[in-house]
Amino acid sequence: MTLKNLYIHIGTHKTGTSTIQRALREQKSDLNREGIFYISPTDSIKYLINVEKLEQTASNNIRDDISSIIDANNSYQNFVLSWEGLSGSYYGGYYNSEVIAKTLKAALDKMPIKVHIIVYLREQVEFINSLYIQTIHSGRDIPLDVFLDKINFKTSYNWNQLIENYNLFDSIVVKEYKSLSKDGEDNIIQGFGRIINSSTFINSDTDSYTNKSYNLSAFKLAKKVNLSLEEQDKNKLRKLLQSKCVDQKVIVLPQSIQSEIINSYKKENQSLLEDYGIGEMWPQEAVCLSDVEDTPDELQSLAQLIIFLNDRLEGNEKELGFTTEKIKKVDKTTRNLPLSIKKIKTDIANLEKKLDAHSEEVSKIKVNMDTLINQVNQNSKVVENIAKSIESRFTNKLFKRLKRLLNAK
């Protein structure tokens, strides 16, 4: 029996993973016709990004999910799973990638499939530079030195260690990510297509899938104003500043930091070149920090932002004016409230007096009713006595008449 193939794309981050995943989703029907089925990351897969120790339950859940998906789509020969979280936590330097790899191995080891690990790597200066731009892009405001300390930039991104952790699997494909493809070179989708044997991807145009990022002017502007904006304004700014020029390479790390990064990973990167043939063109020395004057695009974006914020300010002023009028009405009502309360108290007092008067009348009526009842009772006795007297007289007369009639006979 021919084993089915499961291609697991583990990232890393900032290496075109979103572009690949978008293409997998949007061209799913075409891939299906080629016998390729895309597996969206399950909850059991996403759980792995935070694991720090081996958990049998986690392995069991992954095995159950993947088995169910493959069984339900048994007509397909090739399956593709893509999620950069399988590399681990990038802000933590992928410290937990070994545990993730072992958990995946335990989950898939006994399944009748052949697993292929796919990992894309990016030169560390570009990688850290892109991470920082993404951090600003997301609306955060963090100084560069704080950011670098947080990620332990000199030791966290030894790609050899990540590869070694995933060498548990028999098949691992290591590819170099290039932010800009040269003429004649495969773009990110085409290169991925060759790995999973997809003509749909090989003939694909990556431009329709590429994420928009910040150019240098947008980065500089966002970094200046993020701290002073509310979240909804940051989102508006992000939309305004997203660059249409996705091929612009922006370097925001100072040359001194670049040099530290290059020297920290020089030995490891040489090993990557020897073992996997990647990194030949990675820089051996710092490049100049990108620096441009404020461009028309930046000024236009700034103008749009000012207009937007001004509109919001005018809207707030109108709302404030409306609220002020409501406050005035409430204040006027409040000032008249003591008079209203006094009137209500007077009305209550008058009602109490009327109630007292009515109470007296009710008492008198009650007394009169008692008197009438007594009189009725007395009259009832008189009537009863009269009735008895009448009855007695009638009876005597009748008796005498009967007696006379009897004597006459």
Q: Where are the domains of the chain?
A: 4-292
Tokens of residue 32, six digits: 């299906």
Model confidence band, residue 209 (pLDDT cutoffs 50, 70, 90): low
The pLDDT value recorded for residue 244 is: 46
The pLDDT value recorded for residue 242 is: 64
User: pLDDT at residue 352 above 90?
Assistant: no
Tokens of residue 169, six digits: 């699997």
Q: Give the containing element (helix H, strand E) for 189.
A: helix 188-196
Q: State phi, psi for 11 to the nearest 5 degrees.
A: 105, -140
The pLDDT value recorded for residue 121 is: 97
Model confidence band, residue 319 (pLDDT cutoffs 50, 70, 90): low
Sheet containing 4-9, strands listed edge to edge, beginning at the edge strand earlier in sequence: 36-39, 78-82, 4-9, 113-121, 171-176
Tokens of residue 97, six digits: 């990638």
User: pLDDT at residue 364 above 70?
Assistant: yes
User: pLDDT at residue 251 above 50?
Assistant: yes
Share of the chain above pLDDT 70, in %: 79
The single residue listed with the structure tokens 């020297």 is 263
The pLDDT value recorded for residue 132 is: 92
Q: In Å, what is the CA distance from 318 to each residue of 243, 309, 328, 358?
A: 34, 14, 15, 57
User: pLDDT at residue 391 above 50?
Assistant: yes
The pLDDT value recorded for residue 269 is: 96
For the chain, the distance separating the N- and C-terminal CA atoms, rounded to the nearest angstrom, is 142
Q: What is the maximum alpha-carbon separation in the chain?
A: 166
Q: In Å, what is the CA distance from 316 to each residue of 178, 229, 249?
A: 47, 16, 40
The pLDDT value recorded for residue 173 is: 97
The pLDDT value recorded for residue 298 is: 52
**Pairing status of strand 36-39 against strand 113-121:** unpaired
Model confidence band, residue 21 (pLDDT cutoffs 50, 70, 90): very high
Model confidence band, residue 123 (pLDDT cutoffs 50, 70, 90): very high
pTM of full prediction above 0.75? no
More confident residue, 16 or 373: 16
Per the omega criterion (within 30 degrees of 0), is the bond before 12 cis? yes
Average pLDDT for the chain: 83
Does residue 96 contact residue 182 with C-beta atoms inside 8 Å? no
User: pLDDT at residue 188 above 80?
Assistant: yes
Radius of gyration in angstroms for the set of CA atoms belonging to the chain, rounded to a whole number: 46
Share of the chain above pLDDT 90, in %: 50
What does the pLDDT average to over 59-77? Answer: 97
Does residue 10 contact residue 81 with C-beta atoms inside 8 Å? no
Tokens of residue 293, six digits: 């004057």
4-292: what fold? Rossmann fold (3.40.50)
